[in-house]
Every structure is written in structure tokens, then in C-alpha cells.
Amino acid sequence: MIVSYYKGDSLLHRLNPLAKLAAVFAACTLLFLMGSLLLAAAALAAVLAIAFLTGTQRVLRVMRTKFAGFLGLWLILANAIFTPGGKVLLTIPLYLFHITITDLGLATGIIMAIRFLTIFLVSALFVSTTEPAALVYSLMRRGLPYRYGFMLVVMLRFAPVFEREMKTVSNAQKMRGLEIDKHGVKKLYRSLRFTLVPLIVSALSKVESLVMSMEGRAFGYQPVRTFTFEDRYKLRDKALIFISLATIVLVLAGKAIGWQWSHGPMF
């Protein structure tokens, strides 16, 4: 897994999960409303500064992944080619048509790539500093039915387990001489057949054990459950929630009355 939760004592670790969730929602909303390259770059710089100042800069490794680089480059090229309007910078003649790259399309593509990387980093900061169980328990204490909350906990708990088992099954098949890493339709079918079937069998056995354990503990007998840990909100958590919600309301109200975030793709 590229990003996962790790224990720490940074400021982001100490914040309430719902307060961080509200901040992530506000950040993503603002990023999609920004139409300026300078504002998008400033948002990316702010996220990087938060990562360094809070001691969570290890999540910046997501910037070095092939997926992030490929998707960012694809966004730039796609917008540069297919966005109409603007000054023509380059024309590539082809056999049946011509590819025209304009300054407007290039600037739009760069904005989209920066927006994607910023959202990627914000999400990585949230995941790496928020314990999944604490987030689910906070949601359940705020009204989420505990049956759905338990479903989320089980999903988050079993994800790394199945990841390890998939590696174990893959290594076992390779030890037996099965070529399951080669390309092609037949190789893909062979890989799915000899990898997914053992995983499905393992998952069914774990589900059966989990169901028996839940029935033995009378899961779902009471409509309301109790909690061992108390979910407290400090002043910084309340301030972060208020600022996040107020920012969203202010920006949406500004959009409704015609405020302009920028005068063009560059400014």
C-alpha cells in the first residue's frame, strides 16, 4: 500500500478525525473552485509546508510514484491538446488531422495536474495521520449506525491482511513454476485463476470465522452500543471545523453572487 496510517505525535495526529475530515473536504472544494495557476500553486505550497511543519513529510513519497507522475503528465497533455481557444503555441501535422497546442490549454492542463497532486497529498496526509478505527468510532458517535461503522472497520482491517495473503499466494505459485507475471490475455486469465481462487477461499473462511465470533458476542442485539474511548473535541478541533465550514460557505456564496477567483488561467 502506498499510503497507510503510522503512529506519531505530530499536530495532525492529535487532531480529532472529524476535524481533519472537515478540513480535507474544505480543501478539495476550494481546489475545484480555483481557476488560477497562481492560486493552485499556492495551495500546493501550503500543503507541502504543512507536511514539513507538522513532521509528516514522509507522505511526500507519493509524489515519486509512477502513478502520480503518469496521471499528472496525462492531464497536462490531454488539456493542452483538447482545450479550445487561446494562442497557438505549436502545431503538429498528422496524416488525417493536426494537433494544436495553445497557451490556454497548456495552462489549464498545468492547473489540473497541480490540483490533482494537491488533492493526492491532502488525502495522503489525512490517511497517514488518522487511525481508521478512531475515524469510524467518531462517525458512529455522531450518528452513523454502528453496523455500518463495523463494516468500515472490518474492511480497513482486512485490506492489509488480504494484501499480504496475495503476496504469499503469488510467491507460492512462482515457487511451483507458474508464470503469472507475463502479459497477454491468456496470461491474465491464468494469473486470475491461480491467484484469485485461493484468495476467495481464504476470504470465505475468514468471513465464516468472523460471523461465528459476532454471533457469539450477540452483535446487533442492542440498537445502541457503548464505547470504550471518549471522543473529545478540543478548542483547536472546534476552530478547524468552524474555519473549514465557514470557508466553504463563504466561497460558495461568493460564487453565487459572481465573485471572480481569477482573471484568467494564469492569474
* Confidence class for position 242, pLDDT limits 50, 70, 90: very high
- For 97-125, letters b (16+ CB in 10 Å) and e give eeebbbbbbbbbbbbbbbbbbbbbbbbbb
Q: What is the mean pLDDT of residues 31-53?
A: 83
Q: What is the mean pLDDT of residues 128-139?
A: 84
* Confidence class for position 258, pLDDT limits 50, 70, 90: low
Same-domain check for residues 192 and 116 = no
Q: How does DSSP assign 115-162, residue by residue?
A: HHHHHHHHHHHHHHHS-HHHHHHHHHHTT--HHHHHHHHHHHHHHHHH
Same-domain check for residues 17 and 116 = yes
Q: What is the mean pLDDT of residues 102-128?
A: 86
Q: What is the mean pLDDT of residues 45-66?
A: 77
Same-domain check for residues 117 and 56 = yes
Quick check: helix, strand or coil at residue 88?
A: strand
Establish if 261 belongs to a structural domain.
Answer: no
User: From the CA atom positions of the chain, what is the Rg in Å?
Assistant: 24
Question: Please, what is the average pLDDT of the chain?
Answer: 78
Rounded to 5°, angle at Cα 33 from 31 and 39: 60
* Confidence class for position 263, pLDDT limits 50, 70, 90: very low
Same-domain check for residues 27 and 112 = yes
- Distance between CA atoms of 56 and 124, rounded to whole angstroms? 10
Lowest mean pLDDT among 14-18, 21-25, 161-165, 212-216: 161-165
- Distance between CA atoms of 262 and 38, rounded to whole angstroms? 9
- For 19-48, letters b (16+ CB in 10 Å) and e give bbbbbbebbeebbeebbbbebbeebbeebb
pLDDT at 61: 73
Structural domain boundaries, residue 167: 144-216
List the grid coordinates of 10.
505530530
Establish if 19 belongs to a structural domain.
Answer: yes
Quick check: helix, strand or coil at residue 12?
A: helix
Establish if 138 belongs to a structural domain.
Answer: no
Q: How does DSSP assign 156-202, residue by residue?
A: HHHHHHHHHHHHHHHHHHHHTT---SS-SHHHHHHHHHHHHHHHHHH
Q: pTM for the complete prediction?
A: 0.73
Q: Give the model confidence (pLDDT) of 219-230 as tens digits.
A: 777 777 777 767
Same-domain check for residues 151 and 196 = yes
pLDDT at 239: 92
What is the DSSP secondary structure assignment for residue 218, as one 8-state letter? T
Same-domain check for residues 167 and 95 = no
Same-domain check for residues 43 and 120 = yes
Contact, 163 vs 1, CB < 8 A? yes
Number of domains in the chain: 2
Contact, 40 vs 113, CB < 8 A? no
Establish if 126 belongs to a structural domain.
Answer: yes
Residue type, 206: K
Matching residue, cell 500553486: 41
Establish if 225 belongs to a structural domain.
Answer: no
